[in-house]
Amino acid sequence: MKDLVSIHDLSKQDVLDILDLTTQIKSEPLNSERLKGKALALIFEKPSNRTRVSFEVGMFQLGGHAVSLSAEVAKREEIKDVGRTLSRYVDGIMFRTFQHEKVVGLAEGASVPVINGLSDLLHPCQALGDVFTIKEKKGLSNNLKVAYIGDGNNVCHSLMLACAKVGLNLTIATPKQYKPSSEILHQAMTDSSGAEITLLHDPVIAAKDADVIYTDVWTSMGQEKENKKRKKIFKKFQINQELVKLAKPDVIIMHCLPAHRGDEITDEVMDSNNSVVFDQAENRLHVQKAVLCLLLGGKE
Ligand code: CP
Ligand code: NVA
């Protein structure tokens, strides 16, 4: 594993190794010297709270250093040249951008590992943190039902690929015109080690007897102009108490955040005892530290 561009590129063993190392790192004191003397460049072409802070703090806690670059550096020259240049200075690059091809181009140009910190297509760091959270709360049993209800977007795509790799059954309910990419579905089916991936358009069937209910914003970054139209179409996909009642009583509620409270999730659900959204956010830090150790060569 040289890069983390898509979970599809990882073997099942790579994913299991990341989850195991995450457990280990999470149980250790926060600060170590696993990445002493290593540097990570961060480039964000979209806003970020969780990804930015967890990568910066994660590098600091591992004894390394993070260098934040302005979004402009990814626009001034060809992305592969950005990768070639940065590879002369740093040991890894984290990139958040719009077109997925740009992350691929950066990874092609760079001789150091490139980590996809979200593209319009994928959000692999999120999904690795998510399966780690499911493993912590429920175990990784093939009897579980994970329900993703909402937009068939980047978060949904990476969740599909991650669930397929670790063998979690995933039921997805989206409006007909916002279903996930058929190419990613095909990849997930190919990767699936016995897990079922079911595509539906009915949130009620998806929520029924679910062990996990997951949602994300209806309007992702870069789609703001479509907000009004999307709000209407997605209305019946809201995660509210009525929908949660259909799931198992110990269902966990997940959201990658940021949430638009009152749209895709109600306050009541987000703040309920079933909600694990902030544990999920915390796990981004632990899982990314494991990814950094494995990619930047600091595994002890
Ligand atoms: N979930 C997530 O990636 O959050 P940020 O956009 O705040 O990084
Ligand atoms: N789907 C959301 C995820 C944010 C972390 C977006 O792309 O804006």
- Summarised one tens digit per residue, pLDDT across range 22-46 is 999 999 999 999 999 999 999 999 9
Crossing angle of helices 124-138/277-296, nearest 10°?
Answer: 120
**If DSSP codes are grouped into helix, strand and coil, which group holds residue 6?**
coil
Q: What pLDDT score does 1 carry?
A: 86
Do 150 and 116 lie in one domain? The reply is no
Looking at the 3D structure of the chain, how many domains does it have? Answer: 2
Q: What pLDDT score does 28 carry?
A: 96
CA of 298 to the centre of ligand 1 (A): 25
Domain ranges, residue 199 = 126-277
The answer to whether 70 touches 42, Cβ cutoff 8 Å, is no
Q: CA-CA distance, 252 to 71, in Å (whole number)?
A: 36
Half-sphere exposure at residue 221, Cβ-oriented, CA atoms within 13 angstroms: 20
Q: What is the CATH number of the domain that holds 90?
A: 3.40.50.1370
Residue 1 in domain: no
Residue 2 in domain: no
- Say which residue the tokens 């020259």 belong to: 77
- Summarised one tens digit per residue, pLDDT across range 159-212 is 999 999 999 999 999 999 999 999 999 999 999 878 899 999 999 999 999 999
- Summarised one tens digit per residue, pLDDT across range 96-130 is 999 999 999 999 999 999 999 999 999 999 999 99
CA of 50 to the centre of ligand 1 (A): 5
- Summarised one tens digit per residue, pLDDT across range 239-255 is 999 999 999 999 999 99
Q: CA-CA distance, 165 to 142, in Å (whole number)?
A: 12
Do 46 and 105 lie in one domain? The reply is yes
Pocket of ligand 1 (CB under 6 A): 48-51, 118, 126, 256-258
Amino acid at 194: G
Q: Which of 30, 36, 29, 55 lies closest to 44, judged by CA?
A: 55
* Beta-carbon count within 10 A of 108 CB: 14
Buried b / exposed e over 225-244, threshold 16 CB at 10 Å, is eeeeebeebbeebbbeeebb
Tell me the catalytic residues. Answer: 96, 123, 126, 216, 256, 284
Q: How far apart are the first and last CA of the chain?
A: 17
